[in-house]
Amino acid sequence: MRHESAGGTDGIRNYDHGVDQHGLDNIDDSGLCCRRTQLSPLGEPLISTNPASETPAVPLMELLVFFDARVKGTPVSRTIYKADSLLMLTAVIWGGAFVAQRVGMDHVGPLTFNGVRFALGALTLLPLVVQSDRMPEVPLARRLGGRQAILGGGLAGMVLFAGATLQQVGLVYTTAGKAGFITGLYVVIVPLLGMLWKQRPGRGGWAGAVLAAIGLYFLSVTEEFTLAPGDAWELAGAFMWATHVLILGWLSPRVDVMKLACAQYVVCCCLSLTVAGFTETITANGLRAATIPILYGGVMSVGVAYTLQVVAQRVAPPTHAAIILSLEAVFAALAGWLILGEVLTLRGVVGCGLMLAGMLVAQLWP
């Protein structure tokens, strides 16, 4: 979720001066996507903030203060190298989460897995929420009231629930690698959806969309010219992730970002478990057997990776962040191959390559 971060380094350009990493111009208070917001393929909101002053003041930040280039005696190049290493670790964790999601569903249903996973995610972020009890530094007129903030968090949680459910159901029928690449298409879809708010994509947005569409054809379209069932679920989920990015982009400057992240996890958890109660059989034995995949998806992917990403992008150059975080799809394919024995055909490899190129072009070319 996927694919945002502190320090203003998660987008290719500063929002105060141009176009974001998805090729969308700034949108005023009546529109969306007025902040850089990315999402991991698991639905974790990588909510961007303005300069590092908005980064939650938590102990982990103090422990990792050496990532700040201003630390006396620390070369900038070395600092950036360390930040890039954290971003790479984040991408590895997110890529591996696709395998955890597939393995977990050997024991529990898709909605049960999501419900428990996002409950753990909310609990993991709770200490950060308590220690970052402050509003973003934005004009008072742009801040949302308590009721509006709750409604916004509820809306974000409902869209997160839709995206996570489509993705999780799709993983029943497709591989972790294919799911990773198709989910990553949200990067290309965001600027296209921006046209609904009269925001024309740049050349990179259009070129990325063309490359991604061709890649999707090679990866997922069958000889009968139909989209493989699981891949269709994942593609529908990618549209939900893109919608989620736009919603978070509008909300993040107006509410406390940590509270927003935690609130939407709670909403997604409640919706998932409610629907699972009517459609799936939840057993203690199943949950016990799925403990490791659920812990990985809830604690590692949400809590650990989210925090590492926020810390690293305080320093990492925007182009570094865009390229490294896009590699999560590659790591999903590698993890699927190493752990689950999944193999892509040559046609599939070509498709994945074109899709990755489309993601990068959409982020790096204005």
Helix ranges restricted to H, 184-327: 186-193, 203-220, 229-251, 257-279, 284-289, 291-295, 305-312, 318-326
Q: For residue 333, what are its two tokens?
A: 């394919």
What's this model's pTM, rounded to 2 decimal places?
A: 0.76
Instruction: Collect all residues with Cβ–Cβ distance below 8 Å to 37 and sequence separation of at least 6.
Output: 4, 45, 46, 47, 48, 245, 248, 249, 252
Instruction: Work out the angle at residue 36's Cα, subtended by the Cα atoms of residues 32 and 41, and round it to the nearest 5 degrees.
Output: 100
Q: For residue 328, what are its two tokens?
A: 């999560």
pLDDT in tens, the chain (366 residues): 444 333 333 332 232 333 333 333 333 443 343 333 444 544 454 444 333 334 444 444 443 444 444 444 555 578 888 888 898 999 999 999 999 999 999 999 999 999 999 999 999 888 877 776 555 555 554 556 566 777 888 999 999 999 999 999 999 999 999 999 999 898 888 888 888 877 777 888 888 889 988 999 888 887 666 788 899 999 999 999 989 988 888 887 787 777 888 889 999 999 999 999 999 999 999 999 999 999 999 999 877 887 787 778 778 776 677 788 888 899 999 999 999 999 888 989 999 999 999 888 888 876
Are 121 and 44 a contacting pair, CB within 8 Å?
A: yes
